[in-house]
């Protein structure tokens, strides 16, 4: 069973429906015992980084997420849920993230249209299980104003060009994350959701 973590800032039902459509059971929860008993975790997110961290801390889910990821449980971050994995963000001032991966979240330069909203095509850097059946040039759907900067190039599985190179799929060991919304990205997104469900199995 996949636990979709509910901290009040995510496209929860859409993500759940995408998993159900691809044949994988998923429950929306903020119950730590359900999270501990789950086979895989999904952290969605829409909104501002500092608000998300405050919400996770307020309901006591930071330790639950970190503990389960460190145990090796498959984890998928989506959009803001990807950004929260990293050490720091500069959205609304300096804010600490979950620190599960190395890097910082910075604003897309103002010379480009912000937010980065709409379809953009993936440049796949590494073949990983999450991207099985997904080809370079496949279009996925983005909505964000901040992006990841990291020196850990081996953790960037795919990127997109938006004047700056934006990491679009990242990961390390059991951690996977997408800056875009797979649940809004048509057949390509459903393939990614299905791939994660298969990893949880």
Instruction: Report the distance separating Cα 111 and Cα 91, nearest Å.
Output: 17
Query: For residue 40, which of 10, 8, 9, 15 has the smallest C-alpha distance?
Result: 15
Q: Is the dihedral of CA 195, 182, 167, 59 positive or negative?
A: negative
What is the chain's mean pLDDT, rounded?
97
Assess contact for 71 and 37: CB atoms under 8 A: no
Q: Domain 2-199, CATH 3.40.50.880 — does that match?
A: yes
Domain range summary for the chain, segments of one domain joined by +: 2-199
Q: Which residues form the catalytic set?
A: 79, 181, 183
Instruction: Report the distance separating Cα 35 and Cα 65, nearest Å.
Output: 8
Q: For 112-162, how does the pLDDT look when each residue is reduced to its tens digit (9 = 90+)? A: 999 999 999 999 999 999 999 999 999 999 999 999 999 999 999 999 999
Q: For 37-53, how does the pLDDT look when each residue is reduced to its tens digit (9 = 90+)? A: 999 999 999 999 999 99
Paired tokens of 79: 């959009």
Question: Which DSSP helix (H) or strand (E) runs through 196?
Answer: helix 186-200
Instruction: Report the distance separating Cα 191 and Cα 195, nearest Å.
Output: 6
Q: Is the dihedral of CA 185, 157, 49, 72 positive or negative?
A: positive
């Amino acid at each position: 069973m996949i636990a979709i973590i509910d901290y009040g800032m995510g496209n929860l039902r859409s993500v759940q429906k995408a998993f159900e459509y691809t044949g994988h059971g998923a429950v929306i929860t903020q119950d730590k015992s359900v999270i501990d008993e789950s086979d895989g975790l999904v952290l969605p997110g829409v909104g501002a980084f500092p608000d998300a961290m405050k919400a996770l801390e307020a309901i006591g889910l930071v330790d639950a997420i970190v503990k389960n990821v460190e145990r090796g449980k498959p984890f998928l971050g989506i959009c803001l849920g990807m950004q929260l994995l990293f050490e720091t963000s500069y959205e609304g001032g300096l804010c600490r993230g979950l620190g599960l991966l190395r890097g910082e979240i910075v604003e897309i330069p103002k010379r480009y249209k912000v937010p980065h909203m709409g379809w953009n095509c993936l440049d796949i850097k590494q073949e990983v299980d999450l991207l099985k059946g997904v080809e370079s040039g496949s279009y996925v759907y983005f909505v964000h104003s901040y992006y990841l900067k990291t020196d850990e190039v081996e953790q960037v599985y795919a990127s997109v060009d938006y004047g700056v190179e934006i990491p679009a799929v990242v990961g390390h060991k059991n951690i996977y994350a997408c800056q875009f919304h797979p649940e809004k990205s048509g057949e390509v997104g459903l393939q990614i959701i299905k791939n994660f469900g298969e990893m949880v199995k």
